[in-house]
Structure 1
Amino acid sequence: MGPAEKTAEKKSAAAPRRSRLTPEREGELYAAVLDELREVGYDALTMDAVAARSRCSKATLYRQWQGKPRLVASAIRHVKPFDLSGLDTGSLAGDLYELADRFCHSRKDVELAQAIGVALHRNEDLAEAMHETIVRPELERMDEILDRARARGEIAPDCPAADFLPHMVIGAVFARSMVEQREADPDYLKRYLDNVVLPVLVRS
């Protein structure tokens, strides 16, 4: 064996092997992360604790997720706190009603995301990981809802209120709990869509 082959062999032996987790194993690991998160909160959660709880090596956790922010964001994304994939009812009103239903049906998981709200303001890496894995994909799907509404002529191409659709919908959910101390149920959100969101989108 020549020098080049020996060098290549040494590099191959030294290179870490990236383990492939099965979907079942990955689901178990995410469940352990979320259980730990519920019990101790984001700040007190450690990779050591997750490794022990999930019976997974810490090296594997870092190799797959690079650190706590991405691991937590991926675990929350796994339970799909707010998933708009495949949403297309054929009308703007229908799409927004379906959006409201999906949001309300996932309240338990949304509350899990809310539980790390304080940490999001203090931890830039966590905020970026959450935005990349959870927020950005759903914002893009909201844009698709609006693009289809424009193509159908339901809203103006330059509708100024369209940029604020996520703010209006998400803001209503959190505002009701603060103002009325009540959960934003489907009936409330549909009344809000009929009286606030749809009128401002269609008339803008």
Structure 2
Amino acid sequence: MAEAASARRTRITSEREAELYMSVLDLLREVGYDALTMDAVAARTRSSKATLYRQWGGKAELVAGAIRQQEPAASGINTGSLRGDFYAVVTREDDVRIDQNYALLRGLATVVHENPDLLRALRELIIEPEIEELREILGRATERGEILPDNPAQGYLLHMLIGAFAVRSVIDQLPPTQSFLPSYIDAVVVPALGA
């Protein structure tokens, strides 16, 4: 029985799966998690709902799969300086993509507390990999002598970075942008780390 289910699941090519995931993320940015339906995904991707349910089981699993495809923002960054690494993280994408990622964050922010499976997927697939990448950046900065290893602000780095995205639109009524984020790094993050 498990072999038959596994055989059914492999019908979707990796290219088609990536296309489906992009559509799911786009819909999530547009309408949020609650309004995202399997009907909407099926219509957007020209798929049958039966295929979607057979492949992923439900909306939470489909969204988790789509999230899993996102590379951590800090992945592979090593400029040789703490400030340079942070600049590379926050300017890796253009303002359009930053706004899209912010919309995705908004779409997931409240619903993850009501959906333990989605929260677990978000932690495992995005938050924990990001924390690990940032630990590596901080570890290299410590080895270079840029920051002290016992600085308590290190434990709040991801909070500080997400805060730049999460509250800019509320406080300033502006989206996070490539011009805002480096100034935030210089004014808040780097001084907090003692660099």
- Report the TM range for the smaller structure's normalisation: 0.7 to 0.9
How many angstroms does 1:176 deviate by? 2.1
Instruction: State the aligned residue count.
Output: 191
- Uncovered stretches (5+) of structure 1, i.e. residues with no partner: 1-10
Listed one character per residue, the Cα deviations across residues 59-88 of structure 1 (whole Å, up to 9, x for unaligned) are 54345434311211322444x385222111
| Distance in structure 2 (CA, Å) of the matches to 1:189 and 1:38 | 21
Residue pairs, 1:91-102, within 5 angstroms:
91-102=81-92
Q: 2:62 aligns to what? A: 71
**Among candidates 149, 174, 186, match of residue 178 of structure 2:** 186
Q: 1:15 aligns to what? A: 4
How many angstroms does 1:93 deviate by? 0.9
User: What letter corresponds to residue 21 of structure 1 in structure 2?
Assistant: I
SS at the partner of 2:88? helix
Q: 1:57 to 1:84 in 2, by over 3 A?
A: same
User: What letter corresponds to residue 84 of structure 2 in structure 1?
Assistant: G
**Among candidates 8, 18, 21, match of residue 30 of structure 1:** 21
**Among candidates 131, 140, 155, match of residue 132 of structure 2:** 140
User: What letter corresponds to residue 164 of structure 1 in structure 2?
Assistant: Y
Conserved 8 A contact 1:104-1:184: no
Residue pairs, 1:39-188, within 5 angstroms:
40-51=31-42, 53-58=44-49, 60-78=51-69, 80=70, 83-102=73-92, 105=95, 106-110=97-101, 111-188=103-180
Q: 1:201 aligns to what? A: 193
| Distance in structure 1 (CA, Å) of the matches to 2:56 and 2:85 | 34
SS at the partner of 2:110? helix
Q: 1:191 to 1:53 in 2, by over 3 A?
A: closer
What RMSD, in angstroms, separates the aligned Cα atoms of the two structures? 2.7
- Give TM-score, length-normalised by structure 1: 0.78
Conserved 8 A contact 2:27-2:41: yes
- Give TM-score, length-normalised by structure 2: 0.81
Q: 1:22 to 1:169 in 2, by over 3 A?
A: same
Q: 1:107 to 1:201 in 2, by over 3 A?
A: same
Conserved 8 A contact 1:47-1:68: yes
Conserved 8 A contact 2:98-2:177: no
| Distance in structure 1 (CA, Å) of the matches to 2:57 and 2:147 | 43
| Distance in structure 1 (CA, Å) of the matches to 2:29 and 2:187 | 36
- Uncovered stretches (5+) of structure 2, i.e. residues with no partner: none
User: What letter corresponds to residue 125 of structure 2 in structure 1?
Assistant: T
User: What letter corresponds to residue 139 of structure 1 in structure 2?
Assistant: I
SS at the partner of 1:15? helix
User: What letter corresponds to residue 33 of structure 2 in structure 1?
Assistant: Y
Conserved 8 A contact 1:81-1:113: no
Instruction: Report sequence identity in percent.
Output: 51
Higher relative CO (CA 8 A, sep ≥ 6), structure 1 or 2? 2
User: What letter corresponds to residue 169 of structure 2 in structure 1?
Assistant: S
